[in-house]
Structure 1
Amino acid sequence: MSDNHATPARDSTAQGWRIGVLYSRSGFTAVTETEHFFGTALAIEEINALGGVLGRPLDPLVYDPKGDPEEYRRLAARMLLEDDLNVIFACSTSSSRKAVLPVVERTNALLWYCSIYEGFEYSPNVIYTAAVPNQNSMQLAAYLLQHDCSAFYLVGADYVYPRETNRIMREMVEQHGGEILDEVYLPSDAGEAQLDAVVRDIARIEPDVVFSTLIGDAARRFYRLYREHGLDPQRMPIASLTMAEEEIRLIGPELCHGHITSATYFDTLDNDSNRHFIARWRQRFGDRPTSMWSEAAYNQVHLFARALERCGSLDTRKLVQAAHNVRFESPEGSLSVDRENNHCVLTPRIGICRADGRFDVVWQGKEPVKPDPYLSTYGFADFWLE
């Protein structure tokens, strides 16, 4: 799969299964979306090296939306209406997903979406393959409250995912004995001065923990400034649902030692599927680490290939039905799609960052957790960690 920002559709005589890949290789989310892209590329190359699906290769068409929701919308429409595709692997932020969803539904296409998000959404035209709040946020809140963190400071980017995620965190914390000391939102591309002001405010207030839903360049600058101001992660950690191994490598692992992330995948997981994934990843991309961003993208292409093999068609209805009946032994564990809501059954985990930038998994669920994107059935007891 080409690393170019856009590649032309191949001649139809190649008889490949034509799919779209729409992740930003530039713009403020370029780091994590490039991980999506690389995970997707690795899975496609792996499947094609084994003969493709039903003897036909996966044939990707790739564009770069540059982190701009409007560009996502335009390029998704181009893929589905002009390039005549029906299946796309696309989007990272909720704002980009919501930008492309109308055209995906209008054309009855199928979007595979591999980013964690705030939940409260269902579409028959989307397979959601990463965690929703009952698979990461709830466990993080319970873990922090059980480990003497009762005073929280919330800081996030100013768009739907951080605001909804912080709303859920606030409800969990306040209902179970904790307190939100402040809740601050910054532009997604917040500059040094804006971030510095927030860090100074945190130093003044001295919460037990900072829950960050900042993303991209701003999140990495925030973590650096945190240490530059002398704030100690061992005493007052930043907790996150998004800060993973590659961004920590770019920040500087020594600056992140002690910070906490709740995720379904860490590259330290000890199983055969993860060892295979890491070995293939390093062979292809060198010493950059795997993370939840690359792993989820890799997983969903393999799920798609298994569904495609089962139904032999790119028809949305047939693919979705087939996706409900396949499993993939992924690097994070056995992966399946819940037929009730098109979200994946996943195992929640909590990791603490080490000085080498990898994570010690300090807690994980006893079994995979059924997705509940609307938080319709949960009770806090379900998330009280043992």
Structure 2
Amino acid sequence: MRKLLQQDEVAVIFGGWTSASRKAMLPVVEELNGLLFYPVQYEGMEASPNIFYTGAAPNQQIVPAVEWLLENKGTRFFLLGSDYVFPRTSNQIIKAQLEDLGGEVLGEEYTPLGHTDYNTVISRIRETQPDVIFNTLNGDSNVAFFKQLSDAGFTPDDVTVLSVSVAEEEIRGIGAGVLAGHLVSWNYYQTTDSEANEAFVANYKAAYGDKRVTSDPIEAGYFGVYLWAQAVEKAGTTDIDAVREAAAGLEFEAPGGLVRIDGDSQHTWKTVRIGEIQADGMIKELAGVP
């Protein structure tokens, strides 16, 4: 980040993945008055004048997912996440929400990033018999967890797993066979029904290969570029302060639907979508919340 802003003198940076990466970049981009468009869902509780957040905050992914699960799947929750800021903060929000809405937390487990042995966790799941596992694992740990959960004889009929870091690209890596029937919460799916998305998916596959898939972070990264371009056109310059001021309230017809930049928080207004993973690796939308 420091090299890009000081040596390369870039006008804007699009990227970042984990919340830890964003929190490492934040003080640098603020110190040097740069501009970062961050495209991944995160734990919220942050607003920087030098960051535009095009991924979901908890009220756009986690909170509506918990509400939907309570109405449709049960009240007994088991919380499983990787041991870093996003899962721990998200689960603080979930626990407060469940307490308020009459849900119950039967277990809460964290494992290091890259962890691969989930037999002990699965034993706890078997003992507590939750209705729902709310999954905030990140990265390769999802591969190990879902395969070991399936090997242990658990199916979506036995316990619903809802994930917030597993999208179409991760399904390719984990395997749709062990994920089919489990749930996810995002703002966009490759199967989202819109003319803009039909063109987006076709163009993406033409560029990167027919077997490649789109996903929520890909879509959020994509429309962030267009929102920045609109702000630059409106401001008539790439000057950071002018672009920030011009960006407030801008809208774009993204593949996932209309998005709008909130001028106060620099987060993005989006649509929430609860989905079910299908045997072909695609995601079927079950519910949408504007």
Q: Same fold (TM over 0.5)?
A: yes
Structure 2 residues not aligned, in runs of 5+: none
Deviates more, 1:327-336 or 1:77-86: 77-86
Deviates more, 1:115-124 or 1:241-250: 241-250
- Residue 119 of structure 1 aligns with an amino acid whose one-letter code is G
- Residue 272 of structure 1 aligns with an amino acid whose one-letter code is E
CA distance in 2 between counterparts of 1:271 and 1:263 reads: 16
- Could you say what secondary structure the match of 2:286 adopts? strand
- Could you say what secondary structure the match of 2:140 adopts? helix
Question: Is 1:323 the equivalent of 2:261?
Answer: no
Q: Which runs of 4+ in 1 moved over 3 A?
A: none
Corresponding position of 1:114: 39
User: What's the CA shift string for 1:51-108, capped at 9, x where partnerless?
Assistant: xxxxxxxxxxxxxxxxxxxxxxxxx111112222241112111100000111100011
The one of 60, 74, 84 aligned to 2:9:
84
The one of 172, 178, 188 aligned to 2:97:
172
Number of equivalent positions: 289
Corresponding position of 2:88: 163
CA distance in 2 between counterparts of 1:163 and 1:230 reads: 28
The one of 328, 346, 353 aligned to 2:270:
346
Corresponding position of 2:170: 247
1:312 shift after superposition = 2.6
Question: Is 1:128 the equivalent of 2:62?
Answer: no
Corresponding position of 1:304: 228
CA distance in 2 between counterparts of 1:234 and 1:276 reads: 36
1:200 shift after superposition = 2.4
Question: Is 1:256 the equivalent of 2:179?
Answer: yes
The one of 188, 209, 213 aligned to 1:265:
188
CA distance in 2 between counterparts of 1:171 and 1:288 reads: 38
CA distance in 2 between counterparts of 1:330 and 1:232 reads: 35
Structure 1 residues not aligned, in runs of 5+: 1-75, 368-386
1:308 shift after superposition = 1.6
Give the TM-score, by structure 2 length.
Answer: 0.96
- Could you say what secondary structure the match of 1:230 adopts? coil
CA distance in 2 between counterparts of 1:352 and 1:358 reads: 8
- Residue 121 of structure 1 aligns with an amino acid whose one-letter code is E
Contact 1:234-1:259 at 8 Å conserved across structures: no
Question: Is 1:230 the equivalent of 2:147?
Answer: no
- Residue 302 of structure 1 aligns with an amino acid whose one-letter code is Y
Corresponding position of 1:218: 141
1:173 shift after superposition = 1.2
- Could you say what secondary structure the match of 2:150 adopts? helix
The one of 23, 39, 44 aligned to 1:98:
23
Corresponding position of 1:293: 217
- Residue 97 of structure 2 aligns with an amino acid whose one-letter code is M
- Residue 263 of structure 2 aligns with an amino acid whose one-letter code is R
User: What's the CA shift string for 1:287-326, capped at 9, x where partnerless?
Assistant: 1111102111111111111212222322111111222243
Deviates more, 1:172-181 or 1:270-279: 172-181
1:198 shift after superposition = 1.2
- Could you say what secondary structure the match of 1:321 adopts? helix
Corresponding position of 2:62: 137
- Residue 356 of structure 1 aligns with an amino acid whose one-letter code is D
Contact 1:308-1:314 at 8 Å conserved across structures: yes
CA distance in 2 between counterparts of 1:264 and 1:125 reads: 23
User: What's the CA shift string for 1:152-190, capped at 9, x where partnerless?
Assistant: 111111111100101111111122111100111111121
RMSD across aligned positions (CA): 1.2
Corresponding position of 1:59: none
- Residue 218 of structure 2 aligns with an amino acid whose one-letter code is S
CA distance in 1 between counterparts of 2:143 and 2:222 reads: 24
